[in-house]
Amino acid sequence: AVERTLSIVKPDAVAKNVIGQIYSRFENAGLKIIAARMMQLSRAEAEGFYAVHKDRPFFKDLVEFMISGPVMVQVLEGENAILKNRELMGATDPKKADKGTIRADFADSIDANAVHGSDAPETAAVEIAYFFPTMQICAR
Ligand code: CMP
């Protein structure tokens, strides 16, 4: 089925100037960018986005990292978009990510891991709504 997923190019990848290279991977896999915005997250915005992880030991470092510089946030649409994006990203820990994945090629550590992608349809819907009002999504 055609799905939508929320993708974030994290501060490490923005700082490396590889937004375009990452977008090319989405496009080459048949995923369309149907909304996008570059932004500097506030602490409250980052904490809200990652609220499901608030009791995890890595939460504080994760939030610090996500507010360390601008991020590029986008909605990807396509057949099986959620799983497809997760395959393109590779494992959360870049040391475990398959060769040729975004994280294997661009990520430095489990925190500075280049990209985020929604993990399921329910979280995708919540995450997309967190950043984009319906009016700002350019269905095509
Ligand atoms: P992301 O997909 O953005 O979702 C939560 C983030 O927490 C994850 O990517 C990692 O960057 C970060 N993180 C740090 N430590 C861990 C861990 N042990 N397990 C999962 N995620 C972690």
| One-letter amino acid for residue 4 of the chain | R
Work out the average pLDDT over 70-89. Answer: 98
Predicted pLDDT of residue 33: 98
Assign 139 a pLDDT band (cuts: 50, 70, 90).
Answer: confident
Give bridge partners of residue 77 from the DSSP assignment.
4, 32
Instruction: Give the closest residue (by CA) to ligand 1 atom 11.
Output: 111
Work out the average pLDDT over 82-104. Answer: 98
Closest to 104 in 3D by CA, of 119, 87, 81: 87
Please state, as a whole number, how many other Cβ atoms lie within 10 Å of the Cβ of residue 119.
16
Give bridge partners of residue 5 from the DSSP assignment.
76
| pTM for this model (two decimals) | 0.98
Could you identify the residue written with the tokens 């923005």? 14
Q: Is the pLDDT of residue 74 over 90?
A: yes
- Ligand 1: atom nearest CA of 112 is 11
Give bridge partners of residue 4 from the DSSP assignment.
77
